[in-house]
Amino acid sequence: MPAPTLDQLRIYAIARSLFRPTTLPRAIARLGFLQADPIRAPARAQDLTLRHRVRDYRAGDLERRYARLAIEEDFFVNYGFLPRATCALMHPRSPRQRWSPARWTQAQAVLEFVRGHGVVHPRQVVAAFDLGRTRNWFGGRSNASTQLLDAMHYRGLLRIAGRSGGVRTYAAREAHPAHPDPDAAMDALVDVIVAKYAPLPERSLAELVRQLRHGAPQWDGRRKDALARARSRLPHADIDGARWVWPAGEDPGSARHRLDDELRLLAPFDPIVWDRRRFECFWGWAYRFEAYTPAARRVRGYYALPMLWRGRVIGWANAAVRDGRLVVAPGYVAQKRPRDAGFGRALQDEQQRLARFLGL
């Protein structure tokens, strides 16, 4: 097939990601991986991502239905939700940091406790195993028992059973053997990445494959070969000095990829805008996630939601709920609101959809 243009890639990226809204299980299966983030502004990133792809989705539906879905909360290239079959490809994990015999003894005792109770809240483990407090990832102090639960989850000894008041609850994970062909497993994981973020620059693919060290640290030495195989087996094209890749069997230049007039406010981690390199290639400006940037240095706001309309990200909006009402403050790259008469209606419709999603 002829090499697609950059405009065709942009339309293809939007159309394939914003598929026709479907059921929650099918949407997660099609996405392949759903990045999670705890910030609610006005809702968690996973909910903001799903609301565009699941029929009649409401904030919190994923958490409410999690225990009944064939998915896992786990690490992949980032932390989030993914089908159990994909999660199984990465286990059992062999983290680079080894445990001492004393740590293994603690873990085995906690594992037996969890098995005896079925599903446990971290408070139960803290009460039963007073391991004191230790320094956490952010330099503060936290319960050593809670950190042990997190480490056991990462190693595959435990799984996330659900959430109680937003707090993760744990259950024992059934042991299963490692994949018999690590290279095949790595190729399958790379395919999940490509299917989620395609079309993507080859440099972005390399960075994402590098991030598989979080999900499959035991195969860290196989990443380079997995990337080489992906470069040779996946369709690609050189456009404006960059090589782009996409899944086998898809045609980025097909006329069936169409855009609509619906305006969408996207989560900062939505697959359409996640790759900042691709974002700048497609829309010609730099979007940055500023929630962890000091307030005085923020350009677009604490949790600016990229604004997609008619195939272009024309700006952003910060959304908040005040006195039971949704307040949306938009900003525009061109420094002024589009004059097109259809824009006002499209923005109003999106605000109404967002309010309904939030249950307002």
Mean pLDDT of 291-317: 96
Q: Which of 228, 255, 236 is closest to 7 using CA atoms?
A: 255
Mean pLDDT of 203-218: 96
203 to 7, 14, 15, 33, 206: CA distances (angstroms): 19, 20, 22, 20, 5
Q: How would you list the strands of the sheet with 200-201, edge to edge?
A: 200-201, 242-245, 236-239
- What is the model's pLDDT at position 87? 96
Phi, psi (rounded to 5 degrees) for 334: -80, 5
In the predicted model, is pLDDT for residue 2 greater than 90? no
Tens-digit pLDDT profile for residues 27-69 = 999 999 999 999 999 999 999 999 999 999 999 999 999 999 9
In the predicted model, is pLDDT for residue 144 greater than 90? no
- What is the model's pLDDT at position 217? 95
141 to 104, 121, 144, 234: CA distances (angstroms): 22, 19, 9, 46
Split into its structural domains, the chain has a count of: 2
**281 assigned to some structural domain:** yes
**138 assigned to some structural domain:** yes
- What is the model's pLDDT at position 179? 92
**226 assigned to some structural domain:** no
**144 assigned to some structural domain:** yes
In the predicted model, is pLDDT for residue 136 greater than 70? no
Burial class (CB in 10 A: 0-12, 13-18, 19+), 359: exposed
Provide the mean pLDDT of the chain: 94
**88 assigned to some structural domain:** no
> pTM score, two decimals?
0.93
Tens-digit pLDDT profile for residues 241-260 = 999 999 999 999 999 999 99
Confidence of residue 25 (pLDDT cuts 50, 70, 90): very high
With pLDDT > 70 as the criterion, what percentage of the chain qualifies? Answer: 96
- H helix and E strand count, the chain: 14, 14
**259 assigned to some structural domain:** no
Q: Look at residues 148, 172, 196 and tell me which one is the last residue of a structural domain.
A: 172
How far apart CA 259 and CA 8 sit, in angstroms, is: 11
Q: Look at residues 118, 140, 172 and tell me which one is the last residue of a structural domain.
A: 172
Mean pLDDT of 263-272: 97
Residue type, 148: L
In the predicted model, is pLDDT for residue 137 greater than 70? no
Confidence of residue 141 (pLDDT cuts 50, 70, 90): low
Lowest-pLDDT range of 133-137, 172-176, 185-189 = 133-137
- Residue 199, preceding bond cis, omega within 30 degrees? yes
Residue 111: give its domain's CATH number: 1.10.10
Start-to-end CA distance of the chain, whole Å, equals: 48
**Can you give the residue range of the structural domain that contains 296?**
264-357
Q: Look at residues 172, 193, 211 and tell me which one is the last residue of a structural domain.
A: 172
Give ∠ CA 320-325-326 in degrees, rounded to 5.
40
**313 assigned to some structural domain:** yes
In the predicted model, is pLDDT for residue 133 greater than 80? no
